[in-house]
Structure 1
């Protein structure tokens, strides 16, 4: 029986553990933060729960568009109750995952993992460290080790989170009251999501962006929609501004920008990226190499430079998405245990930004097509022309699709809409399976539906009716 030790219990860790156990391996997971990892307990699940709550507020606020309103005309948000529910839901999700691991026979040891200085021949020795004291409390040996240690919010030495006024995205769920004015530093995915979510909850938000527009890695047409919605809700966007420092005042914070400007608020939320958790793993004891960016280097089957050591998730720097982390972990176990496996294909990975509205993407994007690097025909359909969107009162967003000029094979798409994370699936399936616009256009769907815009985009491309 192959002995497998997995260091980290997040999506990469628990998904790989389930696969390995089902394939008959002896599996031990070392986890010092709680099963599910930071993704479930402090990051992804809590933030998306907050955003789901803000969606309810938005629906109530926008109800007059469809002739529905409340007598008072105001939407009240009990911030303490919202955060209590968020933490409870995260813990329930962690408990559900732990129960599934136990059912599959996976052993879970509480503690952080570190390669021991002395390593046995043809195996690996991993020390289990107490999360509080750092003392070695156990030692396990394995034939295969998977590192799935995730990442930690990046901090600035001039703006260290204190959990009270200067916050990381893991601190916000301890707030008892809504911020009077939240300053979000960083306009990438995390910053944009929190800025949008809190703005929809009715919190005055200023978003500090170092670029000309938010979400610099996304389709620029999609980013413009998010900016327009954010500012229409009363949000303030400070462009081409880089934070130099954050200092506390008696009743708030002052954000000092590099160019001398200042932004005043009650709280600051730092969203300036993350760093991989690799420093305390004892990698030097086994010869695992890091990349130039400080991540654990892996190939397309999640293998490090040491054949029997794999890595998956945010510690590898490969598309920092929970879905990708889980797939990396599954691929690692399939490969390690001799199963047939297809390497990870980045171009088939669907991603979503949980703003209001959401942005979902898959395949080739704007930069590759607009530069001519990838020849493509494209079409963009405004969401406002969709019958179901009209019924529901949705006016912001669009569906964009790219296909090969000669064959009509679908190679990419962008959806900006409520629940875009659900609507991107047929486009992602087409990209993954090499389907054509004819295949999508010839599939009978439901009318009326938001997904009807996906089929309509395919029909336009099938007829070479480009709208752009």
Structure 2
């Protein structure tokens, strides 16, 4: 029986464990932070739970336009619409813990052994685990998967204290709403927290070193989000690089490299991630890392050493829980000799959980504009969609890309409430190389937001 040892219990690790167990391997997961990893315990599940609360308030803010008055007898809405952040964060932590427990129970049912401790490679084919009591356990392995994830990047000039200067993992310990929250970093994490806290009624300033919010995302989508957030009251400091973050009592000061400064009550640092690869014995085992410390892997999750695979954020491939999980599954399918297809990043759908959400899949507008692929583009604003009008949705759009000649759908962008759900049909089209005509001929419900996807596809019809 094949012996599989997996270091790390996040999506890359536990999904790999389930596949290996299904294929009748003897599987051990070495976990130090809790099954589910940061995705479940400190990142995806907690942040999206917080965002779910923010979405309720976003919907309430648009109720007046739909003929619903949310106010007391004196017409004062603020007197009864309140946010208990302590309760919100308690729910966040409870749901994260429950999800972790559910995954742990599934692993146990499938016969996967979980060892709590810190794993380290001892050459090739052996893992040494340091247990909580300081003792060590030695595990022999026919194959090893490293899935140790990544951690928030911090810099000496902006040290988090867990109270007022926070990483995104520390915000769930807040019991009271910040008076003025400064978010440093305008990537996905920074934008999501800025959007959520604006919806909670907090004064938010977003410090961006780039020209716009979400510099790595579709430019049209980022423009819509920036317009919405600033309209809702967020202050954006673009092209403003942070030099330092300091605290004096209850006041946090973010100093910029140009000499300006902004003060607030709290600061969330969203400065990217660093891989958890130090102290694992990787380099001693001959495993190649890149300059940032990420494990170098191929499209079936192999490292540079035979029998050692890697999955998830520690590889730096795409820092998405879905990608981590797929990398882990592919690794086990490959090692166990099952049917496997190398990961294709052009078929990965992703979502930014702002309000509105931004979902993408396949080739990007940037790649098309750069001439990397020839594609025709159609973009339809949601403001013309009947269902959007009924729901009071005026911001957002659907954008589709297809190849000239063949008409194959090669990518798309959806900016809308619940775009994470709407993108799936486009993802299927990209994954299965459907043509715009095939996408257009599938029935959609009327009225529905998904009708705009079909309409965009109809407009891409090639005579």
TM-score (norm 2): 0.97
| 2:105 paired with 1:104 | no
* 1:351-366 pair list within 5 angstroms: 351-366=350-365
For the 8 Å contact 1:183–1:208, the answer to whether it is kept is: yes
1:184 aligned counterpart, secondary structure: strand
Q: Deviations over 1:119-156 (max 9, x none)?
A: 4xxx611111235x7x3432211110000000000001
| Separation in 1, partners of 2:238, 2:461 | 40
| Separation in 2, partners of 1:371, 1:299 | 26
Return the offset for 1:340.
1.6
| Separation in 1, partners of 2:163, 2:368 | 45
| Separation in 1, partners of 2:77, 2:436 | 45
For the 8 Å contact 1:127–1:136, the answer to whether it is kept is: no
For the 8 Å contact 1:302–1:311, the answer to whether it is kept is: yes
Which segments of 5 or more consecutive residues in structure 1 lack a partner in the other structure? none
Aligned to 2:17: 17
1:111 aligned counterpart, secondary structure: strand
For the 8 Å contact 2:274–2:292, the answer to whether it is kept is: no
User: What is the aligned counterpart of 1:73 among 73, 77, 81?
Assistant: 77
Aligned to 1:374: 373
| Separation in 2, partners of 1:238, 1:244 | 14
For the 8 Å contact 2:20–2:27, the answer to whether it is kept is: yes
| Separation in 1, partners of 2:183, 2:416 | 23
2:340 aligned counterpart, secondary structure: coil
Aligned to 2:325: 326
Return the offset for 1:293.
2.9
* 1:273-422 pair list within 5 angstroms: 273-422=272-421
Q: Deviations over 1:328-348 (max 9, x none)?
A: 000000001011210000101
For the 8 Å contact 2:362–2:411, the answer to whether it is kept is: yes
Return the offset for 1:115.
1.2
Instruction: Give the number of equivalent residue pairs.
Output: 457
| 2:244 paired with 1:245 | yes
1:49 aligned counterpart, secondary structure: helix
2:283 aligned counterpart, secondary structure: helix
Q: Deviations over 1:309-339 (max 9, x none)?
A: 0000000000100000000000000001011
Return the offset for 1:219.
0.7
Return the offset for 1:463.
5.3
2:201 aligned counterpart, secondary structure: coil
Aligned to 1:90: 96
| 2:208 paired with 1:209 | yes
* 1:145-156 pair list within 5 angstroms: 145-156=144-155
| Separation in 2, partners of 1:381, 1:69 | 31
2:460 aligned counterpart, secondary structure: helix
Aligned to 1:49: 49
Moved more, 76-85 or 454-463: 454-463
Aligned to 2:265: 266
| Separation in 2, partners of 1:194, 1:235 | 12
For the 8 Å contact 2:5–2:30, the answer to whether it is kept is: yes
For the 8 Å contact 1:26–1:106, the answer to whether it is kept is: yes
Aligned to 2:6: 6
Return the offset for 1:289.
1.0
Aligned to 1:220: 219
Aligned to 1:163: 162
| Separation in 1, partners of 2:285, 2:168 | 34
| 2:38 paired with 1:32 | no
Change (3 A) 1:375 1:136: same
1:197 aligned counterpart, secondary structure: helix
TM-score (norm 1): 0.96
Q: Deviations over 1:34-56 (max 9, x none)?
A: 11011100111100111111001
Moved more, 62-71 or 186-195: 62-71
